[in-house]
Amino acid sequence: MRKTIVFLFLSSLAAPAAHSQNALEQLEGLSRSRLETAVPEAAAAEKKWDPSAPFSYHQNRGAVVSRDGAATLGNVRWGEAPWDHRSYDWRTAELRPETLSKVYYGYKTSGVGHSFFVFVFGEGGFSSGGSDGVALTAGAEGWTREPEGYNVLYGFMDRYPLIWNLTTFESYADFTVTLKHSRLFLAEIKIPRGKALELLSATLDRIERTNASAEFYHSVSNNCTTNPVALLNSVLPEDKRVDERDLGLVTPTSSLPALAVRKYRRLGVLAEKAVAVDESNFRGFDIRGL
């Protein structure tokens, strides 16, 4: 109970807001190459917030370019993590929603945890330049800066623009295992195919809304878990939803990955058993064959 009270208090400290001269506005008119300037050695050594440092290279602002029949997505991370940890392969990809076969609630338990969706498509349903992407991961993230990355306290201070980081599942698994030395879990979302298509459409809608506004990531009220929970809730009957707010404040269950997964399992929304992806199986992982 005490932890819940503290959590609700923290959630009231700040809320996503639009500001003048904010981090998102710094992106306007700037090319990716201009953002990728070297971090001064002094700033890196002091390990403090440096607003002039480049945005993290493994992240990008995913975009919905068009949705006329097949959807076209921009800034989708493809392939393995590069040797220099900078020159990631960002592509334009085509998505054919009618080929959607399954949806997973992906999550990580290391650090503060993380939640994201994994949409799995039939052959040719998610592709770029003739390359089959197989599965799309879509996660709401705060666009952090090099070299420090994410800091929970900074997440309360409107320092991270909210973005949707889009990648192939192969790219996401490789990055998680080889660079973060972590593992991830996949729990199938047990909803009819029609609802799965609604969830995909709602996610694309959310990406468009996020990019159209000056939203900030917030460690409690607008984070990697509140976003997928809100989207999943939107396609579920009322008795299967996670409570998002209590007394007007964000609930821990809708904001913390472990609690959200546990509650959705109890409600029968997620499969009881999750599949772990780690160093033992991430290469050549067959997500279509699960």
pLDDT above 90 as % of the chain: 77
Positive or negative, the CA dihedral 36, 37, 38, 40 is negative
Name the least confident of 41-45, 94-98, 146-150, 205-209: 41-45
Q: DSSP E strands: which ranges in 154-253? A: 162-168, 184-188, 245-246, 249-250
Answer whether residue 26 shows pLDDT above 70.
no
Answer whether residue 107 shows pLDDT above 60.
yes
Residue 257, CA atoms < 13 Å, CB-side half-sphere: 22
pTM above 0.75, yes or no: yes
Answer whether residue 6 shows pLDDT above 90.
no
pLDDT digits 0-9 by tens, 110-120: 888 999 999 99
Contact between 56 and 32 under an 8 Å Cβ cutoff? The reply is: no
| For range 230-239, the mean pLDDT | 98
The predicted pLDDT at position 214 comes to 84
> Which is more confident, 268 or 68?
268
Tokens of 249: 């404040």
pLDDT digits 0-9 by tens, 241-266: 999 999 999 999 999 999 999 999 99
The predicted pLDDT at position 68 comes to 87
Rounded to the nearest 10 degrees, what angle do helices 193-212 and 226-234 cross at? Answer: 130
Answer whether residue 31 shows pLDDT above 80.
no
The predicted pLDDT at position 15 comes to 42
| CA-atom Rg of the chain in angstroms | 18
pLDDT above 70 as % of the chain: 83
Size of the chain, expressed as the number of residues it contains: 290
Question: Which residues does 222 contact at the CB level (< 8 Å), separation at least 6?
Answer: 15, 16, 140, 162, 215, 216
Query: Can you name the residues that pair with 117 across neighbouring β-strands?
Result: 105, 138
Q: How confident is the model at residue 18 (pLDDT cuts 50, 70, 90)?
A: very low
pLDDT digits 0-9 by tens, 185-204: 999 999 999 999 999 999 99
Averaged pLDDT score across all residues of the chain: 87
